[in-house]
Structure 1
Amino acid sequence: MSIIEKAPAKINLGLDIAGKRADGYHDLSMLMVSVDLNDYITVSEAEGSSIIIESNSLRMPLNEKNDVYKAALLLKKRCNVDAGVKITVEKRIPICAGLGGGSTDAAATLRALNKFWGLHLPDETLLDLGFTIGSDVPYCIGGGCALVSGKGEIVEPLEVSLSAWVVLVKPDFGVSTPSVFRDISPSISRVDISALREAAEAGDYQQLLCHMGNSLEDITIARKPFIQKVKDRLLKCGADTALMTGSGPTVFALCQSEKKADRLVNSMKGFCKTVYKVRML
């Protein structure tokens, strides 16, 4: 028997750094949404009590450094599971892209093993477990459109009906999230997440565009100016807006027209190797 779980990528429509906490972490306020670019997690039986990780990606570690492995080990210990498991990760989401690939894989692993082992743990428990792996994992447990705050552990799903084509452009380099957060200063740009949420819940696309923003964008662009070139090209080619997601380097553009999205894809393919046209979920 095996179970396959879809692991969708995410984008940040808004990412605000509200300040630094006494524990050294930053207070986050983010509006996040899933898109239909997916990894796939398949879990099946393995001999003994071992955790075996396989993947089509040569860049992904297949040991305890992998978030998928961490998720499986965490669940085994939490629920005293002795059974072994083989986890196959079909990677389609680029690695180190700001699209939450590692986090969504870990979340999908928790969901899949919760079913596979018949644990019947509620989502609240999976969220708590996921947060010990990474700050984006709690959001990825449920996905969709959600307001995420605190250190990432507070997730409020939102009932919205956003409809837009999303063009993802991933430059040919990665960005270290911890190093970006180390460069945060009191003068960092701010994003009005409350106004963004209001626009999303009202289904007001134009107001949504007006209030989108990413507090980390200036930091990452200062290190990797090519990201600004990607943004500028997307806007010049007719994108409704263009914004870096997460700590980068992926830039996404929104379009209400599929024809416009297709033009963007054609324009960007000669500029960057990795370009996707997807929808919000």
Structure 2
Amino acid sequence: MDSETAYAKVNLALHVRNRLPDGYHEIETIFAFLDQGDRLSVAPGEGIGLEIEGPFAEGLSATDNLVLRAADRLAALADGKRGARLRLDKRLPVASGIGGGSADAAATLRLLNRFWGLDLSSDALAEIAAPLGADVPACLVSHTCRGTGIGQDLTMITGDDLRDCTVLLVNPLVPVSTAAIFAAWDGIDRGPLAQGDILPAAQSGRNDLQQPAVTLVPILTDVLALLEECQPLIGRMSGSGATCFAVFDSMDAAERAEQHCRSAMGEIWTMRGRFR
């Protein structure tokens, strides 16, 4: 059975520059991806079907899902007669600011492009990915890159300085509405993201959605404080939350930080990994 990882996404920095008339926002961000995430597998079958399992499967629809939308779009571009039995192992929390459904949709496109032998180019897959959501094109690439526009204008990062770093994700198991967080943004443009090497650019950056999220989900204050006590290279919220992250220079440091957070908070979700 062929399979593909839907890599967890982290916004190392996220500058919101403008609210657009269509409801989207103009942003500048640095996307980075863990070597961990949801897992998608495929087997031959009639039509396109989806089964969902795993620790965060409860409440997810197997008939109204970005995985199926991605599969249907790819099948339509082929000959419309392709079949696949898809299985999603949902390991990432839902509505948590680390890719989730966007990463699952992107993994579907990579997996079925290979499984169906379509051999579509990266550019062709990116065109299919764009209508599925603002983060899907970046998740399709799943490597460190800068995103501008609504996050879909991507500039790949070569020779980035994150490859030796580890990252800890911490989520207080509180789902957060992306729309609600963006709606709570105060509309103030606090300036562009720095250019140059990724790590110092991210360190000097910010997440403009963090304060609105903290206001709506106060427990994030405790998560961020615990991570800061561990003296990370970077520590902040990812995307629209509620997952927070901390970047370290070793896996040992990430493990100690994980133990620190778990001993202090108890009911949380954590994941450790390396940047891809």
The aligned residue for residue 275 of structure 1 is 270
Q: Structure 2: how far apart are the matches of 1:258 and 1:85?
A: 38
Letter in 2 for 1:249: A
Contact conserved, 2:106 with 2:136, CA < 8 A, in 1? yes
Q: Structure 2: how far apart are the matches of 1:183 and 1:136?
A: 20
The aligned residue for residue 173 of structure 1 is 174
Q: Please give the per-residue CA displacement for 1:162-189, whole angstroms capped at 9, x wherever unaligned.
A: 122211111121101012122233226x
Answering whether residue 38 of structure 2 is matched by residue 55 of structure 1, we say no
Q: How does 1:1-281 map to 2 (within 5 A)?
A: 2-47=1-46, 50-56=47-53, 57-63=57-63, 65-159=64-158, 160-162=160-162, 163-187=164-188, 190=190, 192-193=192-193, 195=194, 197-200=195-198, 205=199, 207-208=200-201, 210-270=203-263, 271=265, 272-281=267-276
Runs of 4+ in 1 over 4 A off after TM superposition: none
- Distance change (3 Å), C-alpha of 1:232 and 1:72: same
Contact conserved, 2:203 with 2:233, CA < 8 A, in 1? no
Q: Tell me, what secondary structure is at the counterpart of 1:15?
A: strand
Q: Please give the per-residue CA displacement for 1:80-122, whole angstroms capped at 9, x wherever unaligned.
A: 2213211111122222111101111100101111112222211
Contact conserved, 1:37 with 1:93, CA < 8 A, in 2? no
- Give the stretch that moved more between structures: 220-229 or 179-188: 179-188
Q: Please give the per-residue CA displacement for 1:49-83, whole angstroms capped at 9, x wherever unaligned.
A: x22101212232101x2110110111122222213
Q: How much does 1:22 deviate?
A: 3.9
- Distance change (3 Å), C-alpha of 1:132 and 1:39: same
Q: Structure 1: how far apart are the matches of 2:274 and 2:11?
A: 14
Q: Structure 1: how far apart are the matches of 2:59 and 2:220?
A: 22
Contact conserved, 1:238 with 1:264, CA < 8 A, in 2? no
Contact conserved, 1:7 with 1:41, CA < 8 A, in 2? yes
Q: How much does 1:208 deviate?
A: 4.3
Q: TM-score, normalised by structure 2?
A: 0.91
Q: TM-score, normalised by structure 1?
A: 0.90
Contact conserved, 2:17 with 2:192, CA < 8 A, in 1? no
Q: Structure 2: how far apart are the matches of 1:153 and 1:243?
A: 22
Q: How much does 1:246 deviate?
A: 0.4
Letter in 2 for 1:170: N
Q: How much does 1:209 deviate?
A: 5.6
Contact conserved, 1:30 with 1:148, CA < 8 A, in 2? yes
Q: Please give the per-residue CA displacement for 1:187-241, whole angstroms capped at 9, x wherever unaligned.
A: 26x3642x2x4131xxxx5x34631310111111111111011111111233333
Q: Structure 1: how far apart are the matches of 2:244 and 2:108?
A: 27
Q: Structure 1: how far apart are the matches of 2:94 and 2:146?
A: 24
- How many pairs are equivalent? 269
Identity %: 30
Q: How much does 1:5 deviate?
A: 1.3
